[in-house]
Amino acid sequence: MAAVRTSSEIALNRIAIAAVIVVTLIFLAPIYWITATAFKPRNLSTTIPPTIVFTPEISPFVKLFTKRSQLRSEPTPEEYAAAPWWERMVFDGGEKIVRDGKGNVQLSGYPSRFMNSLIVAVTSTILAVGMGTFTAYGFSRFKVKGEADLLFFILSTRMLPPVVVAIPMFLMYRVVGLNDTHWGLIILYTAFNLSFSVWLMKGFMDEIPKEYEEAALVDGYTRMQAFFKVVLPEAATGIAATAVFCFITAWNEYAFALIMTNRRAQTAPPFIPSQVGSGLPDWTVIAAGTFLFLLPVAIFTFLLRKHLLRGVTFGAIRK
Amino acid sequence: MSTLDPKSRAASRGMSDITIRNLFIIPTILFLIVFNIFPLIYSLGYSFTDFRASGKADWNFVGLQNYRELLNDPFIWSNFSITAKYVIVSVVGQVVVGFGTAMLLNRDIPMKGLITTLLLLPMMLSMAVVGLFWKLLYDPSFGIINYALGLGTFEWLSNPDMALYAVALTDIWMWSPFVMLLSLAGLSAVPKHLYEAAAIDRAGPLYTFFRITLPLVAPILMIAIIFRTMEAFKTFDLAYILTSQPTTEVISIRLYKMAFQEWQTGRSCALAYIVLIMVLAITNIYVKYLNKVKER
């Protein structure tokens, strides 16, 4: 930009600011809309014109977590008065919560799918980042024969379309009994994330001066001690950023989860869409499920925004 | 990048450096071979058979028959041409929107950091879940998009001519921020003195853009394009969730249906190999350009 700011340039800058605001609002509108829908009563979710102002409700979340059935008849006033407040919201929507013989609330499929997502994403993240950190250190500090080729091989494992890998994996898993198990998905996601983890961690490792370890070696540490006590603490922010990336990828994965799981180990991404069905879906419940599922990713994005920027552009802008 | 001497002083204490190096690297390589290369060899074998994973029927070696049939199947070629159309529309859209936004943001904009972070959000989300909520947004009778644009009951997803563009539009929403981020990094690396020199020469804005900005940003923009091309080529979730039109059946969906709905396992392995070769071809272009940027 020129050093002298002319009046036309200031005007141009104002137009640019206005345009940026408009673009940002357009980009955020879908996310806002799904959030708003998650807090609407059902009868306001599909109105035209769309309902902008409404009293937020948590009934979609109650419905999301409980197994429900249509009310055959209106609840008696006594029943209604005896029900807890959250159950009354379901009554008001023309449904009742299903209970088992002992009177316990029956949960819907969502909580277990959410837990499956959590188990699979967290475990595979720990494995991928752990192995990736060691391997990145190995590549960063030692002479490795054919290093460029090996690194390219590692990266190339991520370039295949998931469906291409899924067919033989499905057959192999069927033989060894890993279909529809947590470990089956964990192994797949670890393999998938490992390449990324190695590449990203190598970037972080290369930036830690090797003089740090050499000083530790002079102080009488073994190489392993130097790695654990000097290098790992230095790499902590890099490890955190890589972990969040691996978590987000595993958390969001759909194709493998769709093919490799059906009930026991199914994660949320194939489950939520399967709830839409063919009739008139309750979009508030689907929006609530979506909102809860997006929440961890949104929080991570904000907490680690500076590191994420680097991870997103990984390798591409490094000279 | 720095390398330590494996025969350094520390080698005499504890494990030798070579042992540590092997301990750190070999398990990862083995793991990736077992879970990436081995399955591919396994499916290469199946691609020469008429194996069906659904039944207990015998299977036969059929040689190149699967490949021959697939390459002569007009439906497969139409899947590829749908994929190509999808890739072009969505990547061009992402470059226009992403690069345009980056040009806007490459000024003294207040809260630039916050805006950039907010724009990161779409690309952090699950494509399947994004597909699901765009289904709600696209709904012809109560969707917010038709209402906001005043389109009445315009059909986005059930209209065969429109569906592919609707899927691409969602992809553009999700991934333009990625192109924007890379472009922004490229734009901020353009030396300021070039613009000052151009201003002294009284160069017009168009001349400055085409002679200074674009050539200097081009390499990094190219990387964004190739990244997105490869990802768009692999598209499955978004198109599969959003709509089930024959006109949006990209090659990954065809492959999924062939393998897990029609259970033509052998044939689908052959198709997977054809796709694989195409991905490798695209990957080669990618590596070529990556090296070009590194040479710069």
- From chain B, the residues in CB contact with A286 under 8 A are 132, 136
Which one of A223, A229, A246, A283 makes the best mutation probe of the B interface by having the most chain B beta carbons within 10 Å?
Answer: A223
Residue among A156, A209, A301 minimizing CB distance to B121 = A301
Contacting A residues, span 222-281, partner chain B, CB-CB under 8 Å: 222-227, 248, 251-255, 259, 268-270, 272-273, 276
- Say yes or no to pLDDT of B11 above 50: no
Rounded Cα distance between A217 and A231, Å, is 12
DSSP state of A179: T
The pTM of this model reads 0.89
Task: Look at A222 and B123 and tell me if their CB atoms are within 8 Å.
Answer: no
Rounded Cα distance between B123 and B116, Å, is 12
Task: Look at B53 and A150 and tell me if their CB atoms are within 8 Å.
Answer: no
- Say yes or no to pLDDT of B19 above 80: yes
Contacting A residues, span 29-88, partner chain B, CB-CB under 8 Å: 29-31, 33-34, 37, 46-50
Residue among A47, A137, A157 minimizing CB distance to B24 = A137
- Would you say the C-alpha torsion B135, B141, B146, B151 has a positive or negative sign? positive
Instruction: Dump pLDDT digits (tens) for A152-183.
Output: 888 777 777 888 888 999 989 988 999 999 99
Residue among B53, B192, B199 minimizing CB distance to A171 = B53
- Burial of residue B58 (CB within 10 Å: 0-12, 13-18, 19+) is exposed
Nearest CA in chain B to A207: B1
Q: What is the pLDDT of residue B42?
A: 87
CA distance B161 to chain A (A): 22
Instruction: Dump pLDDT digits (tens) for A123-158.
Output: 999 999 999 999 999 999 998 888 888 888 887 777
Task: Look at A1 and B192 and tell me if their CB atoms are within 8 Å.
Answer: yes
Residue among B31, B43, B105 minimizing CB distance to A167 = B43
Q: What is the pLDDT of residue B10?
A: 47
Name the amino acid, one letter, at B259: A
Rounded Cα distance between B142 and A302, Å, is 32
- From chain A, the residues in CB contact with B15 under 8 A are 222-224
Q: What is the mean pLDDT of residues B207-219?
A: 87
Residues of chain A with pLDDT under 70: 1-5, 278-279, 313-319
Task: Look at A163 and B178 and tell me if their CB atoms are within 8 Å.
Answer: no
- Say yes or no to pLDDT of B103 above 50: yes
Q: What is the pLDDT of residue B13?
A: 63
Is A173 touching B (CB cutoff 8 A)? Answer: no
CA distances from A77 to A81, A82, A96, A105, B293 (A): 6, 9, 14, 21, 74
The candidate with the shortest Cα–Cα distance to A249, out of B223, B40, B231, is: B231
Rounded Cα distance between B103 and B112, Å, is 13
Rounded Cα distance between A144 and B22, Å, is 9
Contacting A residues, span 104-163, partner chain B, CB-CB under 8 Å: 131-132, 134-135, 137-144, 150, 152-154, 156-157, 159-163
Q: How many CB pairs under 8 A join A and B?
A: 295
Tracing tokens 């497969």 back to the chain, one arrives at: B76
Going through A186-269 in order, the beta strands assigned E by DSSP cover none
- The 3-state DSSP class for residue A97 equals strand
Nearest CA in chain B to A198: B28
